Amino acid sequence: MFEILFSLDTWLSFLRSPLGVYLFVPIYAIWVTILLPGAWASMLAGALYGTFHGSILVFLGASLGAQISFFLSRTLLKGFVQKKLAGFPKLQAIEKAMTRESLKLVLLTRLSPAFPFSLLNFMFGVSQVSWRDYSIGLIAILPGTILFCGLGALAGDLARFNEIISGNTNVGISVLRIFGLVATFAVIFIVSRSARSALKEFEPVD
């Protein structure tokens, strides 16, 4: 009984079920709220549900988790979060700059891989950013969401690479997926580099 309960295959089968699909969103929300890395969960979603459906589920889960984190850091955990931010000077600089261009900064930090998603959620909660700008800024997580779900979907295909070798799957579709992923990665790289460049004006000067 114990082995069945904690079996990875059992959990993966459950997440593929209709009930598991619905529960994936709140599970993902809790995952990012307790500061676990969302990239791995996003790749799992891609492997389980494919790039398109996985991206939708991840975006919904990440948005729910972001709203929970924002509420907690603005109310119950405000003092705790402010103490934790003391160890992240870049995040402190962004937090202090929120009174100037909040929506722009929310979008840029969401696009830049230099700022962890979960930490940003709590940091925005103790900043001066409005809930409206914070919520609109969540749209900027879509490129990264699609990228990691795409990586997960590709990993799922590669795990069944013997099917491609034996001719039991469409090689052309697999090639198109790989090229699509490469194109997505290129766009993410260009956008994130531009975001990092734009954020330099808000970084503290030593």
Q: Give the model's pLDDT for residue 201.
A: 61
Q: Give the model's pLDDT for residue 91.
A: 72
Q: Give the model's pLDDT for residue 138.
A: 95
Distance CA 46, CA 55 (A): 7
Q: Give the model's pLDDT for residue 52.
A: 93
Confirm if 91 and 123 have CB atoms less than 8 A apart. yes
Domain count for the chain: 1
Q: How far is CA 94 from the centre of its chain?
A: 20
Q: Give the model's pLDDT for residue 202.
A: 60
Q: Give the model's pLDDT for residue 203.
A: 62
pTM of the model: 0.75
Distance CA 104, CA 98 (A): 9
Q: Give the model's pLDDT for residue 54.
A: 95
Domain that holds residue 144: 2-202
| pLDDT under 50: residue ranges of the chain | 1-5, 161-167, 169, 171, 176
Q: Give the model's pLDDT for residue 171.
A: 47
